[in-house]
Structure 1
């Protein structure tokens, strides 16, 4: 009833909330993406998206289709791999920013290991910029990282925006430097926060620095200061700083998959990287909306 190609296109639009970005991710024309979504809506007999010239959002039926699409595509891929005899194997060096490891990414990795027991998965958790550098040095086959919007490289998983967050009882004094809770350089969120504050002439000071997201969350919960963080992954116990606080907008952020290109990569590692990438792309909406547990 539902064509796998149409379901993949639907997931890409649902995760990026953009027909243009979905077309870029899938390597299709935007008109083809629109046509495939219309055909899926025709097969379902329901409208899956509300779209106008400025925005795209899921309808209630579209939200329901997310779960069905993932289940159908995962089953289809397992069957195709089994009968084709092309199950991934070998070592897979995967790097991920800690933001994602504290969401539902472990569930995705657990499912991947269960489905592909012949793959030796090596996970490294670090800052996005550090992972970028190590990928360029040939130390990874695949990384899941944050990057500034509209950069040309990478396979877009989802697009989000950065917001200021802090403890529920935090009170900011507009006449004193803004206390920041931040990753150390070269963190993407730290760089964006400092650039925006400098551009708007807002004084600041670093109240806490930690390479651990748990450390930053603990400091923010204690009221030490504010964090720049992705809106879709605000940890429990922290809230978005209201607009009345007068903090400048931080803008958008992309989450992308990047593939390694080093000489150590072989057909096995490339096949394993592509299999994990498909699993992450299929689960992108769940990763995006899952808050870190602590």
Structure 2
């Protein structure tokens, strides 16, 4: 029998690849996270994480434990809900950035609808900047989006790095303005890309603007230009621009959960917390190039 608290800690570390970030997410000390992981590894008799002074990575046994941990915690939650005799009801207005919708979020939402059929779930898919604005306006109860420099809060779900991507056959002329494929304002990746280029003195021109990720991907596949995108979510047919192109580094990006400030009733708040827990426990993409600078203690 595995301790649910240890399993939740394991999932937090596996998603952030950081003992420090996992501690922040769980609201405990880093030493507590380390202790919980040690106890779980002792219980299974296997090493779940490979850690050194440079970072943290899941071992093969750790990858296997991911599915078991989620199944055990989901079963515990279903049993607890059954014997509490309570069923979630009400309306939940959930907003998600288009980046995340193309990953495993549909599977998470399907499970939520199955477990809580009486919750009226309203899904809004938008740019992260727009979702932040709607949340502040009280039009959403829960948001999964990129963290904004202007709105630095939120509960970390996943950390990655923004990279320049384009068609593999694309060739960039360093003496000509960089052709850009971007979301319209208030897209956060757009703002980051333009700011970085301006700070590095690299000239640019916008060759395509679309509010749809599919539209941007189609333009990039056609070789019209480059776009800033999360490394762990690179669409098929596109690849990171080689370092020899000399494009400036775009830096890290955090996907976070944010709650609405004006919950209209207790039901919507309870539903938001339940969906947030499912997202935090669910699988998320992890960039192979980004490793959290963290040490196992």
Q: TM-score, normalised by structure 2?
A: 0.94
Tell me how far 1:147 sits from its aligned partner. 1.3
1:270 equivalent in alignment to 2:269: yes
Q: How many residues were matched structurally?
A: 288
Counterpart mapping for 1:121-132 below 5 A: 121-132=121-132
Tell me how far 1:105 sits from its aligned partner. 1.1
Q: Is the 8 A contact 1:96 1:124 kept in 2?
A: yes
Counterpart mapping for 1:160-199 below 5 A: 160-199=160-199
Separation in 2 of the partners of 1:114 and 1:200? 49
Residue 158 of structure 1 is matched in structure 2 by 158
Bigger relative contact order, structure 1 or 2 (CA pairs below 8 A, ≥6 apart): 2
Residue 114 of structure 1 is matched in structure 2 by 114
Separation in 2 of the partners of 1:152 and 1:164? 23
Q: Is the 8 A contact 1:145 1:257 kept in 2?
A: yes
Tell me how far 1:285 sits from its aligned partner. 2.4
Residue 71 of structure 2 is matched in structure 1 by 71
Q: Is the 8 A contact 2:233 2:285 kept in 1?
A: no
Query: CA 1:170–1:202 in structure 2 vs 1: closer, same or farther (change >3 Å)?
Result: same
Instruction: Please state whether the residue corresponding to 2:99 is helix, strand or coil.
Output: helix
The 10-residue stretch of structure 1 (146-155 or 162-171) with the greater mean CA deviation from structure 2 = 146-155
Q: Is the 8 A contact 2:232 2:285 kept in 1?
A: no
Residue 32 of structure 2 is matched in structure 1 by 32
Separation in 2 of the partners of 1:87 and 1:47? 38
Separation in 2 of the partners of 1:60 and 1:122? 38
Separation in 2 of the partners of 1:286 and 1:223? 26
Q: Is the 8 A contact 1:105 1:287 kept in 2?
A: no
Separation in 2 of the partners of 1:257 and 1:31? 24
Tell me how far 1:287 sits from its aligned partner. 8.6
Show structure 1 runs of 4+ deviating over 4 A.
148-152, 286-289
Separation in 2 of the partners of 1:252 and 1:97? 17
Separation in 2 of the partners of 1:28 and 1:88? 28
Residue 100 of structure 1 is matched in structure 2 by 100
1:227 equivalent in alignment to 2:203: no
1:230-277 superposed Cα distances (whole Å, 9 cap, x missing partner): 011111111111111111111100000000111x52110011001110
Residue 292 of structure 1 is matched in structure 2 by none
1:137-183 superposed Cα distances (whole Å, 9 cap, x missing partner): 11111000001479651111010100111112111111110000010
Separation in 1 of the partners of 2:74 and 2:25? 19
Q: TM-score, normalised by structure 1?
A: 0.94
Q: Is the 8 A contact 1:148 1:253 kept in 2?
A: no
CA RMSD of aligned residues (A): 1.6
Q: Is the 8 A contact 1:196 1:250 kept in 2?
A: yes
Separation in 2 of the partners of 1:38 and 1:72? 19
Separation in 1 of the partners of 2:68 and 2:285? 13
